[in-house]
Structure 1
Amino acid sequence: MSNVMTLLGKQIEVQISRKDLFEGLLIDFGQDILVLFNGQHFIYIPLLHIHSIKLSDKKDQIIDSPTEQSFTEEIESISYRKVLINAKGIFIEIYVTGNISFHGYILNVLNDYLVFYSPVYKIIFIPLNHLKWLTPYNHNVTPYTLDNKTLPVKPSNITFSRTLEEQLKKLEGELVLFDGGKDPMKVGLLKKIENNLIELVIANGETVFLKQNHIKSVHLPQ
């Protein structure tokens, strides 16, 4: 996709799915991620989820160049992992596959997942291959207008494993919520995880097995 570099600074359309279509200026393009400016926000989109990129034909909807820099402006050659690391401590909104969104802060970036802090859901584990895009908020915006004193962006005494499977093993015997907890078949007691297979006991006592590589987010009930 090296020829995409000829579109830098131009207004393009980026299709992620049938429902997700972005319009904006192509600000930067890396080996596995691109940066788009939609007139209000910078949007960071991993190439993994992009279906198509093309020049915009909306001549009556011209998007002006941003007046401020993206947080990756000083990175010589951007990548998905570099973007995530540089986003640590910045209030952002992230979307994962399945149209799930979370608001908060990236705490850590591990081998195959990231650790996210949400004032609503607290600590969330998100596999890197399921993050569809992220959007930073303006610097003067805080989550839900919370005071910094009530916003523990850096929880202490917490260590994280290098892989998501190792981290999930630490949660065996705990109640967990997968993919936002909207599906009752993905809420329950994590009995065991082995060879990419999660054994979960749901509310009625039934045991279900879930493939780890299809899990989009993990958090514990408050």
Structure 2
Amino acid sequence: MKNQHPLLDSQVELVISGRAGIRGKLIDFGQDILVLYNGIQFFYVPLIHLQQLRIVQDEEQTYSGTPELPFEPYNDSISFRKILLNAKGMFSEIYITGNQSIHGYVTAVMNDFFVFYSPIYHSVMISMRHLKYLVPYNANVTPYSLSSEQFPLKPTPLTLARTFDQQLRKHIGQFVVLDLGENPRKTGVLKNVDLNLLELADASGSSVFIHYDHVKTIHLP
């Protein structure tokens, strides 16, 4: 059964890590994720990033009836992992870090990370703890109106580890981009992973150390 949050079916405003002022109708509320509907899109927001949730009175935002959720039956309980599994192969928008979201498909879900295939970044390995929200699109929508030939649903398969830590270690010695390249010092050759610290060699060859907990994504350019 669905968890009965006191603001369920109310118009609310969310403040989440890195993004403020998301408004809509609170459609569903699980143990580790909530669903917000803004009249056009569904926002699946992991609760770990929820900073504030408050009711708002906005006469311009009224939604009659209960929209059909794109994944699970409305009365089923929801969970973060279940949403990621259901999102596999469905064109979606996700927000991780920085000033922009990325678009593509969830292609694999592992223990504590998932793989997201984007026309821009290709296969991105994303720590589950750093996903801020996921927005699924309609089934007939494709990224940037690309054809299946231009953007295949089945990208080149990756050799995946079970955990994000193990996956990072698989890329030791390779040129990697962390956190979608938002910081140039998070791009370089991954030299080592030890004591929860990643050692990168930057463009000048100098070592940069980054704590594991602050690594949100990794991809190979």
Cα 1:77/1:186, change in 2 over 3 Å: same
Cα deviation for residue 57 of structure 1 reads 1.9
Q: Does 1:41 align with 2:41?
A: yes
Q: Does 1:141 align with 2:137?
A: no
Q: How does 1:120-139 map to 2 (within 5 A)?
A: 120-139=120-139
Q: Does 1:81 align with 2:81?
A: yes
Q: How does 1:44-63 map to 2 (within 5 A)?
A: 44-63=44-63
Name the counterpart of 1:12: 12
Q: How does 1:106-121 map to 2 (within 5 A)?
A: 106-121=106-121
Cα 1:142/1:36, change in 2 over 3 Å: same
3-state secondary structure, aligned to 1:72: coil
Cα shift readout 1:87-109 (whole Å, capped 9, x = no counterpart): 11110010013444211011111
5+ unaligned residues in a row in structure 2: which ranges?
A: none
- 1:123·1:219 contact (CA, 8 Å) conserved in 2? yes
Cα shift readout 1:3-39 (whole Å, capped 9, x = no counterpart): 8623222211222147512111111110010011001
2: CA distance, partners of 1:200 / 1:177:
10
3-state secondary structure, aligned to 2:101: strand
2: CA distance, partners of 1:3 / 1:90:
26
What residue identity is the alignment partner of 2:211? K
What residue identity is the alignment partner of 1:211? H
Cα 1:219/1:18, change in 2 over 3 Å: closer
Residue identity (%): 47
Name the counterpart of 1:186: 186
Larger displacement relative to structure 2 (57-66 or 203-212)? 57-66
- In the superposition, the TM-score normalised over structure 2's length comes to 0.91
- 1:25·1:65 contact (CA, 8 Å) conserved in 2? no
Cα 1:59/1:144, change in 2 over 3 Å: closer
What residue identity is the alignment partner of 1:160? L
1: CA distance, partners of 2:216 / 2:18:
19
Name the counterpart of 1:71: 71
Cα deviation for residue 156 of structure 1 reads 4.7
What residue identity is the alignment partner of 1:87? A
5+ unaligned residues in a row in structure 1: which ranges?
A: none
Cα 1:86/1:80, change in 2 over 3 Å: same
- 2:89·2:153 contact (CA, 8 Å) conserved in 1? yes
RMSD: 2.0
3-state secondary structure, aligned to 2:132: strand
Name the counterpart of 1:211: 211
2: CA distance, partners of 1:134 / 1:165:
23
1: CA distance, partners of 2:213 / 2:83:
22
3-state secondary structure, aligned to 2:185: helix
Larger displacement relative to structure 2 (135-144 or 2-11)? 2-11
- 2:95·2:101 contact (CA, 8 Å) conserved in 1? yes
Cα 1:75/1:159, change in 2 over 3 Å: farther
Cα deviation for residue 73 of structure 1 reads 2.5
- 1:39·1:66 contact (CA, 8 Å) conserved in 2? no
2: CA distance, partners of 1:18 / 1:161:
29
Give the aligned length. 220
- In the superposition, the TM-score normalised over structure 1's length comes to 0.91
Cα 1:76/1:180, change in 2 over 3 Å: same
What residue identity is the alignment partner of 1:90? M
